[in-house]
Amino acid sequence: MQGRKRRARCIGFDPGFLCFKPCGRPGRGLETVTLRADELEALRLADLEGLYQEECAVRMGISRTTLSRTLAQARRKVTDALISGKRLVVEPQSGKTRVADARGGAVVTPDRPEDERGEAV
């Protein structure tokens, strides 16, 4: 049984491609935790900007309960990567995310191809 179609999320910045790994450990062979662009945006708005969840949800164009689930998933992933010494990769934005333009409107971003390591090509 499938859930509802995933709504596009509004992302207030373009993180580009980001990858973090433990210092002093080679990247090969490390387990990888993948953080979606909307999860990073939820963390940015709630934890870095200090906004209430209701305001974060409005800015992202999602419900407050969806934001709450997204934040919980993102925090769990980041904590797992930090505690377990895993590589943390921020997934490039897809057609399901929209980057807000200077006027606050949203622009749908095209998919970016990536190689098997998750790096943009």
Whichever domain contains 48, its CATH number is 1.10.10.10
Query: How would residue 94 be classed by pLDDT, with cut points 50, 70 and 90?
Result: low
Is residue 68 included in any domain, yes or no?
yes
Mean pLDDT (the chain) is 80
Of 95 and 15, the structure prediction assigns the larger pLDDT to 15
Is residue 101 included in any domain, yes or no?
no
Give me the torsion for CA of 85, 39, 114, 112, rounded to 10°: -160
Is residue 113 included in any domain, yes or no?
no
Is residue 119 included in any domain, yes or no?
no
Is residue 36 included in any domain, yes or no?
yes
Which domain covers residue 47, as residue numbers? 9-94
Is residue 115 included in any domain, yes or no?
no
Query: How would residue 26 be classed by pLDDT, with cut points 50, 70 and 90?
Result: confident
Percent residues over pLDDT 90 in the chain: 55
Is residue 100 included in any domain, yes or no?
no
User: Which helix (DSSP H) or strand (DSSP E) does residue 100 occupy?
Assistant: strand 97-100
Is residue 82 included in any domain, yes or no?
yes
pLDDT recorded at residue 114: 38
pLDDT of 107 above 50 = no
**Residues 10-36, mean pLDDT to the nearest whole number:** 87
Query: How would residue 102 be classed by pLDDT, with cut points 50, 70 and 90?
Result: very low
- What residues contact 113, with CB distance under 8 A and at least 6 apart? 120, 121
pLDDT of 88 above 90 = yes
Q: How many domains does the chain have?
A: 1
Q: What is the pTM of this model?
A: 0.72
